Amino acid sequence: MRDVVVAGIGMHRCGKFPALSLKDLGGHAVWEAIRDAGVDPRAIECAYVGNAAAGLLTGQEMVRGQVVLRWAGLGGIPIINVETACASSTLALREAWIAVGSGMYDIALALGMEKMFIGDTAKSIGIVATATDVEWITALGFQFMGMYAGNLKLQMERNGWTQELFAKVAVKGKRNGSLNPFAQYQTPQTVEEILSSRVVAWPLTLYMCSTMGDGAAAAIICSREKAQALGIQRPVHIRAQVTRASGFSDPRVHGQVHQEEETPTGPSGRNEIAYEAYEAAGIGPEDLDLAEIHDATAPAELGTYSGLGLCNPGDEAAFFLSGATQLEGTIPINTSGGLAARGHPIGATGLYQIAELVLQLRGDAAKRQIPGRRGTGPKVALASNGGGVVEGGAAASCATILTV
């Protein structure tokens, strides 16, 4: 594999935009990325477009990427549609990375986009449950928030975690989101406000949960040699990208569904996907300066700390309360605000993570810019993203390592 870099990123703000179409959202992100990279759009040789729900919500099936990019003025290149629930745009980036890394192309576009506000909130919420084996929905009454709440209750019993602790994690996310101009919600909230919001599935309250949103994010990637030839001044290197499905077992054998962690873990409880990415990048968790993690609920962040190797199992609460994951801490988590503050346009979420990390690594994150472990700016970042559930395990778990 050749060395591959992110040459530019672009985002549309997450939010509720009833007057904007998927073409408006995606086209905006694409042209922001083109301008950020400073490349001639005619130099883009292929595009991978991630989207999860347009078929169900807007009726646009089969050629979503072609429709959106044609409207944006791009054509005459291979355009490949990618769909894997919340991991759709991470996988779009992965495919672009492979295409450039293999030497087939020198410049590629990765785009993630979602239009969830269509005037029928119940329909939009309902489609989220289709990111699993749809036979479960009827047979088992499957609900994502119910599954997340059940996992958190187990953690409360095992580790003594409290609902107030969960609210404090959400407060951190809301604070970070208030500093992010691309975030859907830009108002800080207190522990009391979060605890007093409507209960979704105890112990989860509304303000702890990821939000429905419209949005799009894009990245222009190229080979290191092409970046040098184009005069890209601040390339961010994609050092590793690992994607796996959970280790499923055959339901016909055991006749029931087992709920597992959102990300496949080994016997030690560590996140095997992340550790595979660490090894591929030649780093360890101690080298990370920051991470964006897929927090479908804000408290889910707690469960990732030990799995990623940031602290020992059982020390997650103390690690968080130490301030380590705050903007000023040793390893800030979700500087963007995470899914409950930045927003969760499903098919775009993975590239929103990447865009946030690129801004941080380039020193362009403005009020939420972190100093890095050494005070000279962050150098190494991790994006941990997941999508869908099949037989209780993640349909796709992804880890991406970026460096400068």
Q: What amino acid positions are annotated as catalytic residues?
A: 86, 344
Q: Which amino acid is at 163?
A: Q
For the record, the structure tokens of 20 come out as: 């904007």
Instruction: Please tell me the distance from the alpha carbon of residue 398 to that of residue 69, in angstroms, as a whole number.
Output: 26
The one-character DSSP state at 41 is G
The H or E element spanning position 22 is helix 22-37
Non-local (6+) Cβ contacts of 187 within 8 A are: 174, 178
Non-local (6+) Cβ contacts of 31 within 8 A are: 10, 72
Q: Which amino acid is at 191?
A: V
Q: Which of 227, 231, 239, 189 is nearest to 211 (CA)?
A: 189
Contact 1, 169 (CB under 8 A): no
In this structure, are strands 107-114 and 46-50 parallel, antiparallel, or unpaired?
Answer: parallel
Contact 219, 377 (CB under 8 A): no
| Sequence-ordered alpha helix ranges (H) in 102-160 | 121-128, 134-140, 144-159
| Sequence-ordered alpha helix ranges (H) in 205-324 | 224-230, 251-254, 272-281, 304-307, 316-321
What string of H, E and C letters represents the secondary structure of 227-245?
A: HHHHCCCCCEEEEEEEEEC
Instruction: Please tell me the distance from the alpha carbon of residue 16 to that of residue 185, in angstroms, as a whole number.
Output: 11
Contact 34, 7 (CB under 8 A): no
